A = this chain, B = another copy of it.
Amino acid sequence: MPPPGTAFHELTVGQLANRSGVAVSALHFYERSGLISSSRTAGNQRRYARDVLRRVAFIRASQRVGIPLAQIRHALDQLPHERTPTREDWARLSGTWRSELDARIAQLQALRDQLTECIACGCLSLRTCHLTNPGDVLSREGPGARRLLDSTAELSH
């Protein structure tokens, strides 16, 4: 049943928020950031095509993987422009994240091994410890020093 007064295939921002579980303010923010787009009614209200639901799902999933919005936007820009993306289109994008995840897991494992080593040798020395001398394991993880996964805060209290 289409919501009253709404074209069958379109969603208001509130409906999109409810269905996606994303706050209206966040949807506005995504739109400002170029991650999603909408048409407007005569009264300047947003109307979202249904495939925006999938876009939002992709955005949230990507965030869970730890990808910053700018990079998600970059990925979304690769989608076909005037055709509704297919399952394969989405799968291709997700595949990119898989590589990122693999890389990050490998980095964390290397980090863990070094940490174990450091605990064993009791070092943490500025001159010798790998952990305190970046450049050999972690290359980037840009400014702002983002946490990769901050589950701990939630788990721990």
Contacts and interface: CB of A to CB of B under 8 A. Distances in A.
Contacts of A105: 105, 108-109, 112
B61 A122 contact: no
Interface stretch (A5-13, A40-48, A75-83, A137-145): A137-145
Number of copies: 2
Contacts of A138: 64, 149, 151
A129 B65 contact: no
Which of A61, A95, A107, A142 lies at the interface centre, i.e. has the most chain B CB atoms within 10 A of its CB?
A: A61
Contacts of A60: 131-132
A116 interface: yes
A43 to B, nearest CB: 26
Contacts of A95: 119
